[in-house]
Amino acid sequence: MSAEGPFWIHPSDTSLAFPDVSLALREPDGLLAVGGDLAPDRILAGYRKGIFPWYGDDQPILWWSPDPRTVLFPARFKVSRSLRKTLRKGRFRVTMDRAFEDVIRACAAPRRAGTGTWITREMAAAYTALHHSGYAHSVECWLDDQLAGGIYGVAIGKIFFGESMFSRATDASKVAFAVLTRQLRAWGFALIDCQVHSPHLASLGAEQISRREFINYLDAWCPVAHDNPAWRLQPALASGPW
């Protein structure tokens, strides 16, 4: 890395090497590297070091490692009064890994008229490949057999790296997130990586920790075997009590 900008990864570089995250820029916060590719092994290598890809349609591949890092510890998920009421009504049905491609397609859709998306076709294809290899997973929230909301992300060991969520009905993504955190807690997951701060995530219990502390969690928990590779939701955890 030079003093003027981030580290450059040549497209032909197959070493999967990244610069040390301490070299990430302060402005924009966390920008570490540019280039490379979205091969599954490269993405996984990045996650294990606290690095993730995030870029727009008209940009090269950008790799980030912000400091501080926004995370959510499953036991600290906040269930608001209104969300608890929704969960108790049981109007939504939640599943896992039943419609991954539908979830990522919905997450990629522009949120407002005229806005773009960071989930490019290349990104969607890369995470779909990770899904087929057993690393990327989805949580689906159904209303009257229609997909109403969902989340997708990557699981390595006992860390879940959340990528994106969407909602087509009030509280649908929150219900999916609530059930996901409860299931991850039952599986002994250490934390959910939420990447960057937002008021919405903070309202659900997400908090900021230093990048160094985050890396320590990755070093401790990414190598730990996940004892439920089938990634199937335990029905009792979805139905309550809340």
Please list the rounded mean pLDDT of every run of 10 residues in the chain (242 residues): 74 92 96 96 98 92 98 97 94 96 95 64 97 97 97 97 97 97 95 95 97 98 83 83 86
User: Which pLDDT score is estimated for 117?
Assistant: 66
Provide the CATH number for the domain formed by 70-239 in this structure.
3.40.630.70
User: Which pLDDT score is estimated for 229?
Assistant: 67
| Strand residue runs (E) in 17-102 | 31-35, 52-53, 62-64, 69-72, 93-96
Where helices occur in 136-231 by DSSP H, the ranges are: 172-186, 199-203, 211-221
Question: Which class is 7-67 in CATH?
Answer: alpha beta
User: Which pLDDT score is estimated for 114?
Assistant: 45
User: Which pLDDT score is estimated for 236?
Assistant: 82
Residue ranges per structural domain of the chain: 7-67, 70-239
User: Which pLDDT score is estimated for 57?
Assistant: 83
β-bridge mates for residue 93, sequence order: 142
